[in-house]
């Protein structure tokens, strides 16, 4: 029931409230005397060169896409893992295991394809 989650929301409120209060309190109470050298981005003691905004290669995006696909796969496995004992008790444990194995094999084909095509390599 929803009432079970009230302690969770209270903890969330305390945790975020405490961290925000500490950050803001430090900013308000502490002395602040910025100068140009102090607010400069730290780049190993050198003066910063160029902009921090750079274009990234599409390869990173490919890895992120593949990550999402397998993330969604794992999401579908959570409910199965939770009610595995229920399925066994209902006598359909093996059938459901078969369904899940077919699902994993379908996605494993994608993983093998990625590896063969070199989708997970950086060159």
Partner 1 sequence: MAGQILFFALAVTAIAAGVGVVWSRSPINSALWLILNLFCIAGLYLTLNAQFIAVIQILVYAGAIMVLFLFVIMLLNLSEMPSVTRFTIARLFGFFLVMGVLALLTYAVAAGLDVLPERIVPAAAAVSGSPSTLARSLFTEYALPFEIIGILLLAATVGAVIIAKRKPV
State the residues that interact with partner 1 by CB under 8 A: 1-3, 5-6, 9, 53-56, 58-62, 64-69, 71-73, 75-76, 78-80, 82-83, 86-87, 92, 96, 99-100, 102-103, 106-107, 109-111, 113-114, 117-119
Directed axis angle between helix 58-82 and helix 93-117, to 10°? 170
Contact between residue 119 and residue 66 where contact means Cβ atoms under 8 Å apart = yes
Is the Cβ of residue 3 or residue 27 nearer to partner 1 in the bound state? 3
Cβ neighbours of residue 113 under 8 Å, at least 6 residues apart? Answer: 119
Is the Cβ of residue 37 or residue 102 nearer to partner 1 in the bound state? 102
Minimum distance from CB of 71 to partner 1 (Å)? Answer: 5
For 71, 72, 90, 100, 115, the CA distances from 75, given in Å and listed in that order, are 6, 5, 23, 12, 22
Minimum distance from CB of 53 to partner 1 (Å)? Answer: 6
């Amino acid at each position: 029931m929803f009432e079970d989650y009230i302690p969770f929301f209270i903890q969330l409120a305390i945790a975020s409230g405490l961290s925000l209060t500490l950050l803001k309190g430090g900013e308000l109470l502490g002395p602040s005397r910025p100068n140009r050298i102090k607010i400069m981005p730290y780049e190993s003691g050198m003066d910063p060169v160029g902009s921090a905004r750079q274009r990234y290669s599409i390869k990173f995006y490919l890895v992120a896409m593949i990550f999402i696909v397998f993330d969604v796969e794992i999401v579908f496995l959570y409910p199965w893992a939770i009610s595995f004992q229920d399925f066994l008790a209902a006598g359909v444990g093996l059938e459901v295991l078969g369904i899940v194995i077919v699902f994993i094999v379908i996605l494993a084909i994608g993983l093998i394809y990625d590896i063969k095509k070199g989708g997970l390599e950086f060159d």
